[in-house]
Amino acid sequence: MRKFEKISFEQFKKDVIDDIDIYNSYKLPIRKTKNSAGYDFLLINDIVLKPNEVLKIPTGLKVIMNEDEMLMIIVRSGVGFKYNVRLTNQVGIIESDYYNNISNEGHMWISVQNHDDKEIKFEKGNSLCQGIFVKFFNR
């Protein structure tokens, strides 16, 4: 079984903001077509990336998946090509046991860097990255 969930409102208040309207308004990741490999992660608020700036962005999300799966998080190719934005860790890996962990409920964050010489603005609901489920050998 695999699915995305919102973190609890209590965790959202700790990590993001104490605003129930923002919490209720953001969407779970979606696949744009039936053959899309990745689920687009939609921004929960507007962001501005200055040249060379690194920004840690909350997703408000956690994910449940099978034990022999991981979720790879990568920048959407259009974002990389068009805006020269990259994940600071290049590829994020989320393991199944990260879900509902004690420290943050499994809240997934992304960290991006603007490698361009211009400021870039992304609006709430835009997608910077995508998550792809991958099976792996588990012993």
Average pLDDT value over all residues in the chain:
96
Number of continuous H segments (helices) and E segments (strands) in the chain: 3, 10
Any idea which architecture 3-135 has in CATH?
A: Distorted Sandwich (2.70)
What are the domain boundaries of the chain? 3-135
pLDDT in the model for residue 139? 76
The string of pLDDT tens digits covering residues 47-95 is: 999 999 999 999 999 999 999 999 999 999 999 999 999 999 999 999 9
pLDDT digits (tens, 9 = 90+) for 3-62: 999 999 999 999 999 999 999 999 999 999 999 999 999 999 999 999 999 999 999 999
